[in-house]
Structure 1
């Protein structure tokens, strides 16, 4: 079963503008047809043909990894999330937003539970803080 491309719009408003990203993707209930990134067991990600910045790709992978066990239980035969586009205004974007957009897309597409990821305006030099549910340090091995 193949699904159509659907866009999830992540938005967080703040006194300095906010964070925003539009993630367009589709889900293929099979393993990737071409090159893909394995996230967990039979959960894969493919990037747009034009590619993207490595930080955005890494955060998309992290966003899927937050739901990988639930996805594996729900779709044991395998799943490939095919990203068609990740669009964002440069003034209202940080690479971490890719993970938040993927989280929202997956939750809507597969009716997955909230895993507790969020962003919050805190002001200062680093105006946003990110919370990753039960993950203290994304990309750490321990």
Structure 2
């Protein structure tokens, strides 16, 4: 029983160490996004926001990156109480190593178009995602 507990502790320590080393400040990230127009546009905004944050360097290719941020987008439309008939956007970031192994996964950050975000749900969702990343990694 003691060996099993020790093994579990060692595995958790190794996973935590791998996460800390690849996602630490100053490392480089490559942003991978869906090929849809929204995915490409959200990735561009995310790239700018990450450069402004200056926690990680944004790499221009996977081979130059320490890890990959895989952006996932969910779009929903229609008239709802919060959307005013525009498209709602939800974004999630999955941090992956170069072998496509998942290191960390964020929750989905959703925004609906409304007057407080200039009816730009995509930009609002990117801002929420970056706020979540700052909270986790700062």
State the TM-score bracket (shorter-chain normalisation): 0.3 to 0.5
Task: Give me the TM-score of the superposition, normalised by structure 2.
Answer: 0.36
Give the structure with the higher percent helix.
Answer: 2
Please tell me whether Structure 1 or Structure 2 has the larger radius of gyration of its CA atoms.
2
Give the structure with the higher percent strand.
Answer: 1
